[in-house]
Chain A
């Protein structure tokens, strides 16, 4: 077990170096001088531009820039972004917000997706199953940004149930609407995965045995069918957490959530290499840790799975 975790954590190193190198290079390769672009048509004196360029190491060749970035990263000094703000401080501001959003979305899709999926799977072909299948197909087919705008307009503007945007006051309540939008598409997938898995396991031998032993229906469903059906769902949810954190750009844009997605969008517009790569680095870590947790959950869900051969 410990060896497994250790091995997985060691794998992080090449993944981390590879992604940061790639992303850093892509930002580096963007045409145009990002410092000059900060100023638009009215350019400041050249000495201001040049001083800023050397402050951000932009006058150095690529490998030197990347090396300096790595060095800073490992000394926990991320430096400043182009507006002069410490990058570490802005990461500390945006990540909790997006984490809240992602966890809320994940909770929504996990709870409702699994519950609906189990009901649909148990009564396959029933009216509930058919309705849910069609509805989830619609949700999957409609892009997130359309859902976002519709929800914002209907619940935020017309019904007035929620503030249409989040802005400065991000908390569990204000983030509910964007979290629903963000979680909805994956909710449909979770539902369908659970449904398929449940209806398949219903006919398994061990379920028949459990029922034959005289176990109560709820016990059969929860302890035998559901637990065994969760493996594909958990795999999906784990991979999805990272996706929710990094992929919230559109949702965060629509609802003006001051989170990772918005920060990343602005950083890309300004070609701010260090900020982009810092955000991506954290996202990589989130991905790796989430996947590790999923792998560890397997053993709990299915004791036949062993990590140490």
Chain B
């Protein structure tokens, strides 16, 4: 899942607002006790921005479309506030060998247009999403199912500009491993055993779609019809560049029943005005704070803020093609770099507590997380150790200090501050030159990362798609994985991941995944930096609000005064 790119506060905005935060009015707090029960019919307004795609679950891979889709639809499972998957439309999900799965679907469920939801609905929706000619951004979520290669097949040829160009060329319309044996039963055969496969069934790509969506996805995406706790207020509720209005779906019966009358997402191109709106109760809740408000939001919104750790982490990746970080000397140097970063202090001073120092390659909110893995001591700041390791590496192979060690990043979204802090750590503790390699836009860094052209280190991050250890390891560090841009590869790591997936129980799987992390700690292809916590603030119109495991606000649970 992509990162929010909204935190691109204009520099000038930041400067100006700094001058003003001193006189930020709190807005007198009214006594909440008399209205604690809440008004179940009140519509709340929430911060958002224009979704980038038509609102189809399998096509929505950015946060602003994602939050709407998650409220409009309900899948086989859903995640509770702590990230634990609970069955929603599924009665049961079973497998004896982690490869052949039988899913029983609840009967009598309907979309808001009256169309019944059966096992076939899911099978059709998933085949649609996986089919390469439908160009669904999240189609690869079905890659584990047998027959995925055929429906997702593509042709590669040289394009007009000489670059390879791939075009969809599906060899089949349905995945061979997926079938609806009767109205209430889905059978799934995976290409190989995957113990944590059922964990991902709460992710939006697996939501059911009504038949209209499959025939004309683009039109459907403008006025989606779902089965979730909310529905579109009316045709055309999505006013482009302005707002999306959802109202409670009274027919919804499930774990996420709405405690308010509806949610209107108001679009902001910048979090600054939203923050001002909140101060005057002109907006009810936001999960994106302007970077200059991180120091003041607790004072500005006393009793009306919450900060909870979420499943998003950051790493500092060290490309294996960099000659300074190869071989035995390189290994020592990677460790030295890690010891030279004072994560504790940066999290406190630069991030004001909205980051917590990393304990592993996976954030602690994920089920199966283990602290104190072998090798994780490199995450502690230790200047003496850093110096010592660096000196040992020098003896093996001298470091080329002719050019400063660059840390590539886009400089918007408050990245420059912490990178400067990290670079200073390298300078002071290792005696090398280090600096930020600034880029105006994320796209530029990504391009260079993909083409292996960055001279130094690079910032990277991962936001969990579904709460599983594997999701933080497989797509990022496995050989040739989709987001492994630095092309780290260790067969032993790959083997442990595979064994973990094939494990009979979740505990056994998690054990393997944690062993795999120990390999990462040996190799340090990236240095875990910190895990995110997501601060949210709300207006005087709201009693209480909280975020879920992935940092998304649980809109359905908000009670309004």
Contacts and interface: CB of A to CB of B under 8 A. Distances in A.
B411 to A, nearest CB: 13
A265 interface: yes
Contact of B273 (A90, A160, A256, A265): A256
Contacts of B23: 153
Contact of B13 (A33, A42, A253, A263): A253
A51 B20 contact: no
B447 A41 contact: no
A60 interface: yes
B152 interface: yes
B25 A157 contact: yes
Given A47-B135, A156-B280, A165-B273, A41 B52 contact: no
Interface stretch (B33-41, B96-104, B234-242): B234-242
Contacts of A93: 240-241
A14 interface: no
Contact of B2 (A41, A150, A167, A258): A41
Nearest to B50: A83
Contacts of A32: 441-447
A201 interface: no
A148 B10 CA distance: 14
Interface residues of A, number: 62
Given A39-B137, A84-B53, A254-B272, A46 B154 contact: yes
B447 A31 contact: yes
B239 to A, nearest CB: 6
Interface stretch (B85-93, B155-163, B249-257, B352-360): B155-163
Contacts of A50: 159, 165-167
Contact of A40 (B5, B17, B27, B444): B5
Contact residues on B (Cβ < 8 Å of other chain), bracket = 35 or more
A94 interface: yes
Contacts of A61: 160-161
B8 A44 contact: no
A63 to B, nearest CB: 13
Contacts of A38: 2, 52, 62
Given A41-B483, A149-B20, A164-B277, A83 B51 contact: yes
A254 B3 contact: no
B241 A90 contact: yes
Contact of A43 (B139, B243, B483): B483
Contact of B269 (A148, A149, A266): A266
A146 B140 CA distance: 47
Nearest to A83: B52
Contacts of A85: 240
Contact of B242 (A153, A258, A271): A258
B266 interface: yes
B375 to A, nearest CB: 24
Contacts of B13: 145, 253-254
Given A156-B280, A164-B277, A165-B277, A36 B447 contact: yes
B442 A40 contact: yes
Contact of A263 (B19, B241, B272): B241
B276 A37 contact: no
B112 interface: no
Contacts of B24: 153, 157
Contacts of A43: 482-483
A281 B10 CA distance: 25
A275 B340 CA distance: 46
Interface in A139-162: 143, 145-146, 148-150, 152-153, 156-158, 160
A1 interface: no
A79 interface: no
Q: Which of A30, A34, A45, A51 has the most CB of B within 10 A?
A: A45
A85 B276 CA distance: 29
A48 B218 CA distance: 15
A42 B465 contact: yes
Contacts of B140: 44-45
B266 A51 contact: no
A83 B277 contact: no
B1 A168 contact: no
B266 A168 contact: yes
A84 B10 CA distance: 26
A2 interface: no
A250 interface: yes
A302 interface: no
Interface string A1-38: 00000000000000000000000000000111110111
Interface in A45-83: 45-48, 50-52, 54, 59-61, 82-83
Contacts of B443: 31-34, 36-37, 271
A37 B3 CA distance: 11
B270 interface: yes
B54 interface: yes
Given A46-B166, A149-B17, A253 B269 contact: yes
A32 B446 CA distance: 8
Nearest to A37: B443
Interface in B4-57: 5, 8, 10, 12-13, 16-17, 19-20, 23-25, 27, 50-54
Contact of A250 (B12, B52, B54): B12
A124 interface: no
A253 B272 CA distance: 9
Interface in A254-286: 254-256, 258, 262-263, 265-266, 269, 271
B273 A254 contact: yes
B276 A152 contact: yes
A145 B19 CA distance: 12
A266 B6 CA distance: 10
A224 interface: no
Contacts of B161: 59-61
A54 B2 contact: no
Nearest to A48: B135
In the A-B complex, the 6 residue pairs with the smallest Cβ-Cβ separation, listed nearest first, are A40-B2, A32-B443, A37-B443, A168-B242, A44-B137, A256-B273
8 contacts: A44-B138, A45-B139, A84-B218, A157-B25, A164-B280, A164-B282, A165-B273, A253-B272
Given A158-B25, A263-B241, 20 more contacts: A36-B446, A40-B2, A40-B5, A41-B3, A41-B461, A44-B61, A44-B138, A51-B135, A51-B167, A59-B159, A60-B161, A84-B54, A93-B240, A149-B17, A152-B273, A164-B279, A250-B12, A253-B272, A256-B268, A256-B273
